[in-house]
Amino acid sequence: MGLKASWEIVGEPVDPDSTDELFFTDHEWATVEAATARIIPTDADPGAREARVVVFIDRYLSGIDFIFAAADGSGFLKMTGRFADAWRDRQTRMQHTYRQGLAALDESTQASFGRDFVELSESEQDRALELFSGAPKPTKVTLGSSEAVTTFLQGTFDEGMGFFTALCLHTRQGFYCDPVYGGNKNHMGWEFIGFPGPKSLKDTMDGTYDTHDYFEPTYDWDELIPHLKANPA
Amino acid sequence: MPSAYRVLPTATGPCGLDLKAVTMSTKNDPVDVIVVGLGACGGTAVKVLCEAGMKVVAFDKGPWLDAAKDFSGDEIKFVNRNYLWPDPTLYPRTLRHDEDSVAKRFQFSPTPQLVGGGTNHWAGWVPRPRESDFMLKSLHGDLPGASLADWPFRYDHLEPYLTKVEWEFGIAGIAGADKYEPFRSKGYPSPPLRPTRWGKKFYDACNKLGINAFPLPHAMVTTEHKGRKPFNHTSFWNQYGDPSGARSNTLTTFVPEAVATGNLEVRPECFVRQVKVGKDGRATGVVYIDTDGNEHEQDAGIVILTLGAIESARLLLMSRSAQHPDGLANSSGQVGKNATFHEYLFAVGLFDKEIDDPLYGWTGNYISGGSLEFYETDHDRGHMGGCIIAASQITHPVNWVFPGRPSWGDALKDADRNFFNYAMKIGLILHDLPVEKNRVDLDPTVTDTFGMPVARITHRPHPNDVAMGKWQVDKNVEILQAAGARKTVPVYLEEMTGNTCHQHGTARMGFDPKTTVLNEWCQAHDVANLFVLDGSSFPTSTGVNPTLTMMANAWRCSEYITDVYAKGREEHLAVPR
């Protein structure tokens, strides 16, 4: 069956401009493109549509060929054995989640607006997402307050996640991922948020990518730590 | 062209292996020692044992990767898709909060499973424990609802081994910067990483409030050390593997050093499902399943478990026999009980882009500045104990840590645009108290990919945990405010999630075989040739990150094995006073 340590590198980075549909139908593609454009909308800065989030999601849902990029971003890892089986099962379930979720979204907009989601105006789409998700559109963060929450696990895995929550997560992933996965075209998500990310994954492996310019430029431990200054070794 | 709905082909049917279908079974030549689990503690054990000339076979459930070739700064792969973390379909865990509930699937304390274990992904906070950590019961007596206990040794017993690990493994720090540190016999081998901008904010705020902030000891080297070249300045750190020689990871240090002796054979991607015993009740070896599902046996004179406190307890409980009907080494009934998990609690502070300077909260190697100012008990706080705090990275764009980050729409876009570079975080490692009912046992229905029962966690925080968490998080908020934060988001404790990967207490060490599982050398009271050298032995969790203490203790006990036990002798410590 092969060891995880010897997974081969196959394929190549995803082309963000591709219009080939590996999983979605034309209508689903258009619906996902429109919905993700409401999750991360285009304003003075690019949004999910320009960053090709729909390509990212289509490739992710297509099977298990685009799950783990090769470390250097030259292609993707070909999973084997029980890992491949687990991912295949999981992706089959996520395909159902999307297929049913997208159909339910149209059913919901047909009931409320008499049209499919893609035929609505942007403000109608926002309203449709509120109705569909059962929660109001998130309000803007304001300063001058404190809002408590309770503890949670680090990282976010999508196993068992419902459609709309998964769509929001996958939109963020597609907007901010390394471009090898098909989203974040030309690093436009990173540029938007102000993250000077690496040109390529390979640059994070050999010392090429260096972020020390963003650290504190000058420092003196004795100044930062008065106790050290007062008690020299 | 629209694609047809694809049903993905499944090669071998539903995930999971039918054990009855396994036919091949082989037996290998016996060796001196078996080590199960090659993480922080297993890595330490194989180094000490192999360098002393013992022949060792070490098993790990996960792969033996090549850090230089397999690790890079890919947020999707390392943070969102479990490349290092246990796949929840293959290796589930279950969780419940009380005795009467049916446990639900939850990836509680999901520590990476591969050679190097948690030292692959860790941020690497490696502060030393304090003298008080070894004697909570002596200091506080019996606290209602908690099962406090002293350790069977004291800080002084461990100090030489803390120093050995700091120098051999590679730790960056400044000796003397921590006002409250107990005696240390030697400084650090590497200077600390330069501060980040948000780290500088933390230092300034702490100095304003009279708090002793300093660069927390960090499991990395910033200068060449033992041939390592620390070129990683990428800020891809916590949860990512490090392709350079910067991070101290047993995968790239102790394991290759042990292999170089010629005395270690590593069997990766092999799952040990049982420790075998002989008629006399002593361990004779292990039964394991390889990646193709074939079962094998390996015999040895000594068996060492270093799987982490959850999986070590699980393996002991799975290793039932006529000689050990309640699980191996469990005549006390204490295996799995008194489990402690720490929990990472924190507060995030947001700053104003229009007024404040950028903090670049995504930079750094997770921690930049910390303090043990609030570590010892202060009865004025209304609870016992305290813990470490640190300023830490808010991490990368997909998953940047802002609880309350809007989920969609203009609000999400504005929050990301306005605050990603204008946020910082201060958090703590909760010093949770042992409670006998908080435990690990075998789930009655849920099994893993090998068909074996998974670990079920039963846990409810002690009221002292909740109170300490509240007080410490509020202190985090106070420091953020002193730093100039214009909004704060405190994250309090309700129920544990195991988000630190820290696990302790499931096979406590002590002098009394009736109430503890292991003796002061982490040797099973019931099974003389069985040792458990991970955090399972910790009677209490301590208020610092446990790995340095675990590794020092694994070194101390491994040295007992090579120098005393393997020579047919037996020694004991006097009960500390």
The pLDDT tens digits for A16-60 are 999 999 999 999 999 999 999 999 999 999 999 999 999 999 999
Q: How many other C-beta atoms are found inside a 10 Å radius of the C-beta of residue B209?
A: 15
Which residues of A are less than 8 Å from B123 in CB distance?
Answer: none
Beta strands in B48-152 (DSSP E): 56-59, 94-96, 104-105
State residue A152's pLDDT score: 78
- Above pLDDT 90, what percent of chain A? 93
Convert the pLDDT of each residue in A111-162 to its tens digit. 999 999 999 999 999 999 999 999 999 999 999 888 888 877 766 799 999 9
Closest CB to B489 among A23, A147, A221? A147
Residue of A nearest to B68 (CA): A205
Per-residue CA distances from B183 to B50, B156, B319, B320, B435 (Å): 30, 8, 41, 43, 31
State the Rg of chain A over Cα. Answer: 22
- Which is nearest to B125 in space by CA: B248, B245, B254, B41? B248
- Number of residues written out for chain A: 233
Q: What are phi and psi of B128, to 5 degrees?
A: -80, 150
Interface contact A144-B232, CB threshold 8 A: no
What mean pLDDT do residues B156-160 have? Answer: 98
Token pair, residue B476, equals 């985090």
Q: Check if the beta carbon of residue A88 is closer than 8 Å to that of residue A79.
A: no
Average pLDDT of chain B to the nearest whole number: 95
CA distance B45 to chain A (A): 23
What are B27's strand-pairing partners?
B297
- Number of residues written out for chain B: 577
State residue A149's pLDDT score: 84
Interface contact B200-A68, CB threshold 8 A: no
State residue B13's pLDDT score: 34
Interface contact B5-A99, CB threshold 8 A: yes
State residue B9's pLDDT score: 36
Beta strands in B322-479 (DSSP E): 344-350, 367-371, 389-392, 423-429, 439-447, 453-458
- Which is nearest to B536 in space by CA: B521, B548, B550, B551? B550
Beta strands in B475-521 (DSSP E): 487-492
Q: Which stretch of B4-18, B69-83, B106-120 has the lowest confidence by average pLDDT?
A: B4-18
Interface contact A210-B234, CB threshold 8 A: yes
In angstroms, how far apart are the furthest CA atoms of chain A? 77
What mean pLDDT do residues B151-180 have? Answer: 98
State residue A155's pLDDT score: 65
Beta strands in B2-107 (DSSP E): 25-27, 31-36, 56-59, 94-96, 104-105
Provide, for chain B, the percentages of residues in helix, strand and coil under a 3-state DSSP scheme, each rounded to the nearest 5. Answer: 25, 20, 55
What mean pLDDT do residues B260-282 have? Answer: 97
Residue of B nearest to A48 (CA): B413
Token pair, residue A97, equals 């989640």
State residue B12's pLDDT score: 36
State residue A1's pLDDT score: 57
Residue B16 has pLDDT above 70, yes or no: no
Convert the pLDDT of each residue in B473-502 to its tens digit. 999 999 999 999 999 999 999 999 999 999
State residue B531's pLDDT score: 99
Convert the pLDDT of each residue in A88-112 to its tens digit. 999 999 999 999 999 999 999 999 9
Residue B272 has pLDDT above 50, yes or no: yes
Amino acid identity, position B191: P
What are B441's strand-pairing partners?
B456
Residue of B nearest to A200 (CA): B73
Q: How far apart, in whole angstroms, are the C-alpha atoms of residue B310 and residue B550?
A: 15
Which residues of A are less than 8 Å from B369 in CB distance?
Answer: 224
- Domains of chain B are 31-152+248-341+432-456+501-567 (3.50.50.60), 173-216+343-430+460-495 (no CATH)
Q: How far apart, in whole angstroms, are the C-alpha atoms of residue A133 and residue A155?
A: 23
Per-residue CA distances from B383 to A14, B139, B379, B433, B465 (Å): 55, 14, 6, 11, 9
Angle (nearest 5°) at CA B193 between B46 and B159: 45
Which residues of B are less than 8 Å from A23 in CB distance?
Answer: 3, 6
Which residues of A are less than 8 Å from B495 in CB distance?
Answer: 150-151
Residue of A nearest to B343 (CA): A151
Cβ burial of B181 (10 Å; 0-12, 13-18, 19+) is middle
- The residue of A54, A193, A222 whose CB has the most chain B CBs within 10 angstroms, and thus the best one to mutate to test that interface, is A193
CA distance A121 to chain B (A): 15
Per-residue CA distances from B402 to B159, B201, B478 (Å): 39, 18, 18
Residue A63 binned pLDDT confidence (cut-offs 50, 70, 90): very high
Interface contact B212-A227, CB threshold 8 A: yes
Q: Check if the beta carbon of residue B348 is closer than 8 Å to that of residue B394.
A: yes
State residue B55's pLDDT score: 98
Interface contact B90-A82, CB threshold 8 A: yes
- Cα atoms found within 13 Å of the Cα of residue A184, Cβ hemisphere only: 29
Residue of B nearest to A192 (CA): B417
Residue B17 binned pLDDT confidence (cut-offs 50, 70, 90): very low
Q: Check if the beta carbon of residue B270 is closer than 8 Å to that of residue B61.
A: yes
Q: How does DSSP assign B403-444, residue by residue?
A: TT--SSSHHHHHHHHHHTTSEEEEEEE--PPP-TT-EEEEEE
What mean pLDDT do residues A164-169 have? Answer: 97
State residue B24's pLDDT score: 59
Amino acid identity, position B227: G
- The residue of A65, A90, A141, A164 whose CB has the most chain B CBs within 10 angstroms, and thus the best one to mutate to test that interface, is A141
Convert the pLDDT of each residue in B532-546 to its tens digit. 999 999 999 999 999
Residue B96 binned pLDDT confidence (cut-offs 50, 70, 90): very high
Query: Using CA of residue A18, residue A179, residue B62, residue B540, what is the dihedral sign?
Result: negative
Q: In the structure, how many helices (H) and strands (E) does chain B have?
A: 11, 17
- The residue of A82, A123, A124, A158 whose CB has the most chain B CBs within 10 angstroms, and thus the best one to mutate to test that interface, is A82
Q: Which residue has the higher pLDDT, B86 or B8?
A: B86
Token pair, residue B565, equals 């036990």
Q: How far apart, in whole angstroms, are the C-alpha atoms of residue B344 and residue B472?
A: 11
State residue B146's pLDDT score: 98
Q: A with B: how many residue pairs have Cβ under 8 Å apart?
A: 327
Interface contact A138-B490, CB threshold 8 A: no
State the Rg of chain B over Cα. Answer: 23
Q: Where are the domains of chain A?
A: 4-138+158-196
Interface contact B174-A198, CB threshold 8 A: no
